């Protein structure tokens, strides 16, 4: 039996990008018994996103396109609204700049139907550019959710279990389990033009703690359109600062997944002061390296991006120190953390 699929597109001022994205969805090759739908979430847009979506989607299409509003800005808010509106067993998230291949919906249903226990799955993407990419793009393409996410095909739970949000497939049963257990993400994702990040990894980590498996399926292919304004070195630096800030929301999950026994040293390592000290040391190390090699090229230098990431992490630790420390206790004792119970052991 094929599981039905709800494709959810979260949009904020997406009027210019939507026509091509919806055209690719309109060309899907699916088998006759597969039921699927499209839910477009208009997340506090100030342009005509809703009107464009309703205009370009064919009125005689056998697939229903439903447009709903989510006035509270934030990617996680939009996703939750989309899932609440969904009626199928599989949730498939795509961004407004993702052009999925013709077999994408069919493949998503097949993968989740034939792999019981998999709660979340991702695939590969190919970059499509408004302007020629800079010389450094290939080195940092994963920062743009482009390329193969991992080299291993199939179950990647034990080897890391981390996926990016472009083309993320989730079993609705797994999502609903987190919701019933009152899972509240620390990281909210993109909020308008703010380059916040890390919500996809937090979701993967939470599902792993809840006992679900993570799968990588390269047959799930899409093209990721990247406008020229994102192909600037300054933009990449800002993204890495956002990546660094997100890491403080991931720390408690990694501690929980390691199943480390409680100790005085562990309690010390959880404190924001300890983590801030370690981040400061890494910042100093990268800065010293650049100082000793002053003639290195500035643009395309990975040490610059590492500095941005550590600076973002340190800033977040200082500004959210109480909240980030409280998250350790929340994750450790959360009802959705089945790793902490006696009847479940992470493989």
Which pLDDT score is estimated for 159?
84
Q: Residue 78 — pLDDT band, cuts 50, 70, 90?
A: very high
How far is it, in rounded angstroms, from Cα 53 to Cα 21?
Answer: 10
What is the share, in percent, of the chain residues with pLDDT greater than 70?
A: 90
Whether residue 108 is predicted with pLDDT greater than 90 in this model: the reply is: yes
Which pLDDT score is estimated for 345?
44
Q: Are 6 and 90 in contact (CB under 8 A)?
A: yes
Mean pLDDT of 27-34: 91
Return the structure tokens found at 178. Answer: 């987190």
Mean pLDDT of 159-185: 92
Q: Are 73 and 44 in contact (CB under 8 A)?
A: yes
Which pLDDT score is estimated for 347?
38
How far is it, in rounded angstroms, from Cα 327 to Cα 256?
Answer: 11
pLDDT in tens, 46-65: 999 999 999 999 999 999 99
Mean pLDDT of 231-236: 95
Which pLDDT score is estimated for 275?
84
H or E element at residue 306: helix 302-319
Q: Residue 224 — pLDDT band, cuts 50, 70, 90?
A: very high
Which pLDDT score is estimated for 346?
40
How far is it, in rounded angstroms, from Cα 22 to Cα 10?
Answer: 13
Whether residue 290 is predicted with pLDDT greater than 60 in this model: the reply is: yes
Average model confidence (pLDDT) across the chain:
89
The structure's pTM equals 0.90
HEC assignment per residue over 218-282 = EEEEEEEEECHHHCCHHHHHHHHHHHHHHHHHHHHHHHHHCCCCCCHHHHHHHCHHHHHHHHHHH
Residues 6+ apart with CB under 8 A from 257: 205, 208, 209, 339, 346
Return the structure tokens found at 209. Answer: 């703690």
Q: Are 36 and 4 in contact (CB under 8 A)?
A: yes
Which pLDDT score is estimated for 206?
95
What is the share, in percent, of the chain residues with pLDDT greater than 90?
A: 69
Any bridge partners for residue 213, and if so which? 118
Q: Residue 40 — pLDDT band, cuts 50, 70, 90?
A: very high
How far is it, in rounded angstroms, from Cα 284 to Cα 306?
Answer: 11
Which one has a higher pLDDT value, 14 or 260? 14
Q: Residue 297 — pLDDT band, cuts 50, 70, 90?
A: low
Angle, in degrees to the nearest 10, between helices 272-292 and 321-333: 120
Return the structure tokens found at 317. Answer: 């630790």
Mean pLDDT of 188-192: 67
How far is it, in rounded angstroms, from Cα 188 to Cα 74?
Answer: 6
Which pLDDT score is estimated for 110?
96
How far is it, in rounded angstroms, from Cα 265 to Cα 174?
Answer: 34
Q: Are 116 and 1 in contact (CB under 8 A)?
A: no
């Amino acid at each position: 039996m094929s599981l039905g699929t709800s494709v959810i597109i979260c949009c904020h001022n997406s009027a210019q990008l939507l026509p091509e994205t919806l055209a690719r969805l309109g060309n899907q090759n699916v088998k006759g018994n597969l039921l699927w739908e499209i839910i477009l979430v208009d997340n506090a847009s100030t342009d005509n996103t809703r009107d464009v979506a309703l205009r370009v989607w064919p009125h005689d299409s056998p697939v229903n396109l439903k447009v709903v509003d989510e006035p509270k800005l934030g990617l996680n808010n939009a996703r939750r609204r989309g899932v609440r509106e969904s009626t199928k067993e599989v949730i498939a998230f795509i961004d407004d700049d993702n052009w999925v291949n013709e077999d994408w919906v069919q493949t998503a249903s097949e993968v989740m139907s034939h792999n019981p226990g998999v709660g979340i799955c991702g695939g590969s993407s190919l970059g499509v550019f408004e302007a020629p990419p800079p010389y450094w793009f290939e080195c940092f393409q994963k920062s743009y959710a482009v390329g193969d996410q991992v080299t291993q095909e199939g179950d990647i739970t034990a080897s890391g279990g981390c996926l990016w949000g472009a083309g993320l497939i989730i079993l609705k049963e797994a999502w609903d389990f987190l919701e019933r257990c009152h899972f509240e993400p620390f990281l909210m994702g993109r909020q308008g033009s703010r380059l916040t990040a890390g919500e996809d990894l937090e979701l993967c980590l939470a599902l792993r703690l809840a006992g679900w498996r993570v799968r990588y399926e390269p047959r799930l292919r899409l093209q990721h359109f990247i406008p020229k304004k994102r192909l600037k070195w300054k933009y990449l630096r800002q993204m890495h600062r956002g990546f660094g800030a997100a890491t403080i929301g991931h720390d408690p999950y990694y501690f929980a997944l390691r199943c480390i026994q409680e100790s005085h040293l562990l309690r010390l390592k959880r404190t924001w002061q300890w983590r801030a000290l370690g981040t400061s040391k890494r910042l100093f190390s990268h800065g010293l390296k650049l100082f000793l090699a002053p003639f290195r090229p500035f643009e395309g230098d990975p040490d610059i991006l590492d500095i941005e990431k550590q600076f973002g992490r340190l800033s977040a630790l200082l500004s959210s120190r109480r909240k980030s420390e409280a998250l350790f206790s929340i994750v450790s004792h959360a009802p959705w953390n089945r790793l902490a119970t006696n009847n479940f052991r992470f493989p």
